[in-house]
Amino acid sequence: MSEQSELMGRARFDDNGLIPAVAQDHESGQVLMLAWMDSEALKHTLDTGQATYFSRSRQQQWIKGETSGNTQRVLAVRLDCDGDTVLLSVDQKGPACHTGQRSCFDNAPAVVPHEDRS
């Protein structure tokens, strides 16, 4: 069994047939975005090295950068310990976020949890 087949067999998709996929910059480790994959998007990603996702709103697959030119070349694909989340190590060309930011988390303010001092 190939590594790709093994990964596909271990992937645990939710009741809608989807699995969350986190894209992370392969050099800096920066989290770029979170999207969703169905089994076909994951298979296409493994077969081609192009990050391919599933749009929940449009109910169809999309290849990152297909229209914008802001592509993600996938260098590694990992599953978490439960097999229910995909981590993509990517070479990002251009911004990852549709807002034009490098990361979808660039403009999100960091909230520091309250520390109970009692």
Give residue-wise pLDDT tens across range 63-102: 999 999 999 999 999 999 999 999 999 999 999 999 999 9
- Domain-located, residue 80: yes
8 A C-beta contact, residue 84 and residue 16? no
Residue 38: CB atoms within 10 A of its CB come to: 20
Residue 49 structural domain: 3-92
- Domain-located, residue 114: no
- Domain-located, residue 115: no
Name the strand (E) or helix (H) holding 5. helix 3-10
Q: Percentage of the chain with pLDDT > 70?
A: 97
- Domain-located, residue 102: no
For 9-54, write each residue's pLDDT tens digit: 999 999 999 999 999 999 999 999 999 999 999 999 999 999 999 9
Domain count, the chain: 1
- Domain-located, residue 104: no
Domain CATH code at residue 32: 3.10.20.810
